[in-house]
């Protein structure tokens, strides 16, 4: 019986050193780089500088966590926020042309939609301006596949200050779950949506969602409103 070839000691030491360097970079240095990139990208796209809390990465699980994100509008009032964003990237994506995520979770997201008395809309102010040149130069991105997307305990506030008596509506306890969601055409994923209005009304949807020739197609299986 032939015994396994012994691994040279230098090879073991080199491997251990590389793993240590990889871990140090992934756990200690990468979070700061990612945080700076998030702030830079959001500021460039919206013209507003976000507040970002702790950022952590796991280089072995290929996961990212961003906490306490908040984006103000041009008046300095909060318009978008979430308590935590967790993303888990799949290693298989490195060998395929599909960006695959095993999980994307957003906890306590909040959107504040405001129509000001002068007719300006705070969400539209954050939309990046696109010219014909920028649109035509955009490359077709790789398809995305998400095994499980979860939005939990979200809230949506709408305020209209154009009226004599300002109108305010709020929707809380927003929960959305998507399973096997993909941007590949004609591939369906399953979704579940639940929400509660400020009047105590509950809304639930269940069905499928898919991309059809660049658009999103929704199929509603069950809907209850009480």
Cα–Cα distance, 7 to 87 (Å, whole number): 36
Q: What residue ranges of the chain have pLDDT lower than 70?
A: 1-5, 129-141, 186, 198, 209-226
- Between CA 100 and CA 157 the distance in angstroms is 32
In a domain, 64, yes or no: yes
d(CA 144, CA 97): 9
Count of residues in the chain: 226
DSSP state of 183: -
- Is 55:41 a contact under the CB 8 Å cutoff? no
CA distance 218 to 68: 31
Q: What is the pLDDT of residue 140?
A: 54
Q: Is residue 3 part of a domain?
A: no
Q: What is the spatial distance between Cα 116 and Cα 18, in angstroms, rounded to a whole number?
A: 56
| Inter-residue contact 130 to 118 (CB < 8 Å) | no
Number of domains comprising the chain: 1
Does residue 2 lie in a domain region? no
> Which segments within the chain are labelled E, that is strand?
55-58, 63-72, 78-89, 99-107, 110-115, 144-160, 167-182, 188-197, 202-212, 215-225
Contact, 82 vs 69, CB < 8 A?
Answer: yes
**Of 136, 138, 178, 176, residue with least CA distance to 154:** 176
Domain that holds residue 73: 9-225
Q: Do residues 150 and 105 make contact, with C-beta atoms less than 8 angstroms apart?
A: yes
For residue 223, the model assigns a pLDDT of 46
Q: Note whether residue 4 is domain-resident.
A: no
Check if the beta carbon of residue 111 is closer than 8 Å to that of residue 66. Answer: no
Q: What is the pLDDT of residue 139?
A: 57
Distance CA 46, CA 39 (A): 11
pLDDT of 2 reads 56
Per-residue pLDDT tens over the stretch 62-110: 999 999 999 999 889 899 999 999 999 998 887 888 899 999 999 999 9
Residue 1 covered by a domain: no
Which of 103, 198, 202, 92 has its CA nearest to residue 155? Answer: 198
Residue 204 pLDDT: 77
**CA atoms of 226 and 209, how far apart (whole Å):** 24
């Amino acid at each position: 019986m032939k015994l396994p070839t012994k691994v040279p000691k230098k090879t073991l030491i080199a491997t251990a050193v590389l793993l240590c360097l990889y871990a140090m970079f992934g756990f200690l240095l990468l979070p700061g780089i990612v945080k700076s990139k998030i702030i830079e990208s959001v500021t460039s796209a919206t013209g507003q500088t976000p507040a970002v809390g702790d950022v952590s990465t796991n280089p072995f699980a290929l996961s990212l966590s961003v906490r306490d994100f908040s984006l103000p509008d041009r008046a300095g009032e909060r318009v978008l926020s979430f308590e935590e964003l967790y993303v888990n990237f799949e290693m298989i994506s490195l060998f395929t042309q599909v960006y695959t995520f095993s999980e994307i979770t957003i906890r306590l997201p909040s959107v504040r939609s405001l129509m000001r008395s002068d007719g300006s809309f705070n969400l539209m102010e954050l939309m990046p301006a696109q010219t014909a040149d920028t649109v035509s130069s955009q490359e077709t991105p790789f398809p995305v596949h998400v095994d499980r997307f979860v939005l939990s305990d979200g809230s949506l506030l709408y305020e209209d200050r154009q009226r004599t008596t300002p109108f305010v509506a709020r929707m809380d306890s927003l929960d959305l779950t998507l399973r096997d969601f993909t941007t590949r055409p004609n591939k369906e994923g399953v979704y579940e949506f639940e929400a509660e209005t400020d009047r105590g009304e509950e809304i639930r949807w269940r069905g499928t969602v898919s991309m059809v020739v660049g658009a999103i197609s929704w199929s509603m299986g069950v809907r209850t409103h009480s």
